Amino acid sequence: MASDAHTDPGSGAGSGTDPAFLLELDDIRAGYGRAALVLRGLTVRVPAGAIVCLVGPNGAGKSTVLKVASGLLTPRSGRILVDGEDVTGHGPQRMLAAGVAHVLQGHSVFREMTVAENVLLGGYTLRDKALVAERADFVRELFPVVAERWTSLAGLLSGGQQKQVEFARSLMVEPRVVLLDEPSMGLDPKATGVVFEQIVRMRDAGTAVLLVEQNARRALEAADTGCVLDLGRVHIAGPARELLADPQLGELYLGGRPARR
């Protein structure tokens, strides 16, 4: 069975900073307003060139992790580091500048704008027109449907295609880490498969990914490392393939039998 990881998620050893990790959430405690804590001493580390997925029951705090990582929610205690630099307390704009992009749950494209206009919005902080063009060429190559539908209204695209537009928009500023919250929500199985293929392509193109996904089995199939959250902490973590094959996890969190070895 994958190792217990109450204090460390298994994506690296030790409690100090490590340059191999692009994003580190260290002993995070966070919640909303005066309500009870949602995250209770959570530690998650995202290595360069990897997909790390967070799975677990509803209410475990998975989406809250992403909000803390992107600066939407300030932790009550703990540290956030990007490439070894302490960015705790930075808001979303400064986190984006530090290299952390967040694709929120649901669809966030502007339906009455073209695909091109939606994607180029992601580069609004870039002042160099040549760099904007270079990044646009990059995302068009990475996501063929974006190139094919470049001049189409975004509202005419399918849900899976719109999600790829959101991915492309998030990559315009060349982030080091992309946070993806439930990317398959509302998609049929075929579209879900395509979306996960694109997530792997993002990773292979050099962008690390921290993923929260309702389809835990599909997420672990795509991921390098999996972290099972429960009651605001990382309960178990390890190589994603090992988590998939674990019979106890299969019954508790993955909706059935474990994957065959």
Residue 259 lies in a domain: no
pLDDT category at 58 given cuts 50, 70, 90 is confident
User: CA 160 to CA 194: how far, in whole Å?
Assistant: 7
pLDDT above 90: residue 259: no
In sign, the C-alpha dihedral spanning 142, 144, 147, 150 is: negative
User: Is 116 or 4 the better-scoring residue by pLDDT?
Assistant: 116
pLDDT above 90: residue 254: no
Q: For residue 88, give its domain range.
A: 21-252
- The structure's pTM equals 0.87
pLDDT category at 205 given cuts 50, 70, 90 is very high
Residue 32 lies in a domain: yes
C-alpha distance across the termini of the chain, in Å = 13
CB 143 within 8 A of CB 164: yes
CB 172 within 8 A of CB 201: no
According to DSSP, the β-strands at 77-82 and 21-31 are antiparallel
Residue 174 lies in a domain: yes
Q: What is the CATH number of the domain that holds 175?
A: 3.40.50.300
Beta strands per DSSP E along the chain? 21-31, 37-47, 51-55, 77-82, 85-86, 100-103, 177-181, 208-212, 225-230, 233-239
Q: In total, how many domains does the chain have?
A: 1
Residue 16 lies in a domain: no
User: Is 27 or 261 the better-scoring residue by pLDDT?
Assistant: 27
Residue 15 lies in a domain: no
Residue 84 lies in a domain: yes
Mean pLDDT of 16-38: 87
**Structural tokens at position 31:** 């919640």
Residue 71 lies in a domain: yes
Residue 261 lies in a domain: no
pLDDT above 70: residue 255: no
